[in-house]
Amino acid sequence: MRDAFQGELDHLRNGLVEMTQLVGFAMARATNALLEADLALAESVISHDKAIDQRRDELEEKACDLLVRQQPVVATDLRTVITSLQMTADIERMGDLALHVAKVARMRYPASAVPPEMVALLMEMGHLAQRIVTKAGSVVASRDVSAALELEASDDEMDHLHARMFRTLMSPDWPHGIQTAVDLSQLARFYERYADHAVSVARRVVYLVTGEWPVSTSD
């Protein structure tokens, strides 16, 4: 009985890792669609978001089903299932943020939302998002607390890129007008929130393993 329960918890965990891969892939493709003004790719990211939502529904269903059927008597088992549900919500939200990036690409097509001299910064945000989501996936798989804590540093890095974007587009000699500035400020926020949710996933892993919430290094 207990073994069966552990087996199902492992299944749940694998499902979460897979979901991080899906939303990582979605953000990678959304970033490409954005930087290359690739409408077909943007449309593909947008339509694929439903599959991520569906995966979330399946995992939620599975977790609830597990609680009803197996009636965990050990508090930590219960906590694992509840935390998985919360991680599912975080990861699904990361998928939404990739979707938002793709929608900006689609809205500005055939133009690009990103002026040439801002491409490098956006690309940096995109690459950092990939590193962060990959790390979050490994943390879910390995339950490695020190790797989880490292994620906060990567998140600080994203906050710096976000701040740099804002400084650039609010500088008095910004040449690209309001629409581009607003687009870029929204995009920067999408990447920043994406990283925040990945950190939230990692923090939940720390809580699962140690029973304590990690002290946040940033606010």
Binding flag, residue 70, its own copies (CB under 8 A): no
Which of 21, 71, 216, 217 is in the footprint of its own copies by CB under 8 A? 71
Tell me, by CB under 8 A, how many residues bind its own copies.
23
Please, are residues 128 and 185 in contact by the beta-carbon 8 Å criterion? Answer: no
> Token pair of 105, please?
């690409």
CA 112 to chain centre: 24
Binding flag, residue 85, its own copies (CB under 8 A): yes
Which of 64, 111, 120, 153 is in the footprint of its own copies by CB under 8 A? 64
Q: Which is nearer to its own copies, 36 or 166 (CB)?
A: 166
Binding flag, residue 209, its own copies (CB under 8 A): no
Contact pattern for its own copies over residues 9 through 48, marking x by CB under 8 A: ----------------------------------------
CA proximity to 107, closest of 31, 34, 45: 34
Buried b (16+ CB within 10 A) or exposed e, 114-132: bbeebeebbebbbebbebb
Q: Which is nearer to its own copies, 4 or 213 (CB)?
A: 213
| Residue 78 Cβ vs its own copies, minimum distance, rounded to whole Å | 6
- Binding part of the chain for its own copies, among 5-13, 64-72, 120-128, 149-157 by CB under 8 A, reads 64-72
The binding site for its own copies (CB under 8 A) comprises 64, 67-68, 71, 73, 75, 78-79, 82, 85-86, 89, 166, 169-170, 174, 178-179, 181-182, 185-186, 189
